[in-house]
Amino acid sequence: MLQTALKRIAASVPSLVGVVIVTFLLTRVLPGDTASYFAGPAATPEAIAEIRQKLGLDQSLPVQFWNYIGDLVHGNFGLSLTTGQPVVNEIAARLPASAELTLAGLILALVIALPLGIVAALRQGSWVDHVCRVVATAGVSLPVFFTGLLFVYAFYFLLGWAPAPLGRLDVFASAPPTVTGFYLIDSLIARDFATFRATLAQLALPAITLAVFSLAPIARITRASMLAVLGSEFIRTARAAGLEPSTIVIRYALRNALLPIVTTLGMVFSFLLGANVLVEKVFAWPGIGSYAVEALIASDYAPVQGFVLAMAILYVFLNLCIDLLYGVIDPRVRIEA
């Protein structure tokens, strides 16, 4: 297992190097002048040149890239010009918010999509099967930002059931003491149930928005995988042997159908990290996605580079976890590796 993990990490190093190079070059060729933006519209050419010199933008691209690599080696992602804070600190402070939202949406989608896909495969042509198809079609067709705006309009503006979409907590609640960075978990650790309820209320709509977005692929692949396994010879043998239907479905069919489901979960989680950018803007969620968008608008390239690199590292870690999980689900995969 350790040898497999080391091989996967070594294989991902060229990808990370490519991400660093491409991100650096793209931030330099994007339209807009960082020095002119922060100097202001009334700045003189001398003031703009001075700011460009302080930022190191007057140097050649190879020199800028070499300095950037040296900073990365020392764990320095640069300084955000809009906030004046190190990018590493900003990402570390905002990443738990994005992770909590993404995991909440993914868990909610799993709770609904897995049973729905299993039942749809067991009862082909039934109303459950038709519901599964409708959910899959709707989830693929509706843009995530449109779903979020629709939920805000319906549940906050019209019905008044949801709180104002203004971040992780309303103005009357205070953040719990930081332990994990996840407000739900930290409020439970602190036994602050009022903050827990306030956090859950704020998290509900954006998590449901992400869940609707991720329901479709999970339900669809669960149904397809279960149908393929249920038609196998060993399932017919298990039924002929008189095993309990629940044992056949859960112990034999579902376990053999898990590999494509786990692969889809990894892809969905990656998509959710990208969809977070739109959802965080709709719900004013103080996550890493909204931070990157604001930095991009302000031509603040250091946070953008840090965001892309952080996402790349998360993707590598996620793929590593999926590869290791393959070996747990099916030992034959581990033996072949």
- Render pLDDT for 42-81 as a digit per residue (tens, 0 to 9): 667 777 777 777 766 677 777 778 877 887 877 777 777 7
Does residue 180 register a pLDDT over 80? Answer: yes
For the chain, which residues make up each domain, given as ranges? 93-299+316-336
- Under the banding of pLDDT at 50, 70 and 90, the label for residue 36 is low
- The CA-CA-CA angle for residues 238, 239, 241, to 5°, reads 65
- Under the banding of pLDDT at 50, 70 and 90, the label for residue 162 is confident
d(CA 51, CA 167): 34
Homologous superfamily, domain 93-299+316-336: MetI-like (1.10.3720.10)
Mean of pLDDT values over 112-117: 85
d(CA 337, CA 332): 9
The pair of structure tokens assigned to 285 is 């969620």
Its sign, for the CA torsion 133, 252, 326, 210, is positive
d(CA 317, CA 312): 9
- The CA-CA-CA angle for residues 215, 326, 117, to 5°, reads 25
The pair of structure tokens assigned to 293 is 């968008």
Q: What percent of the chain has pLDDT over 90?
A: 0
How much is the pLDDT for 178?
83
d(CA 132, CA 126): 10
- Under the banding of pLDDT at 50, 70 and 90, the label for residue 307 is confident
- Under the banding of pLDDT at 50, 70 and 90, the label for residue 283 is confident
Mean of pLDDT values over 300-326: 79
Going from the C-alpha of 88 to that of each of 75, 178, 261, 306, the distances in angstroms are: 8, 18, 34, 8
| Contact in structure between 162 and 209 (CB atoms under 8 Å) | no
- Render pLDDT for 186-213 as a digit per residue (tens, 0 to 9): 888 888 888 888 888 888 889 888 888 8
- Render pLDDT for 219-265 as a digit per residue (tens, 0 to 9): 888 888 888 888 788 888 888 877 787 787 887 788 788 888 888 88
Place of tokens 């998509």: 271
How much is the pLDDT for 313?
81
The whole-model pTM stands at 0.80
> Mean pLDDT for the chain?
79
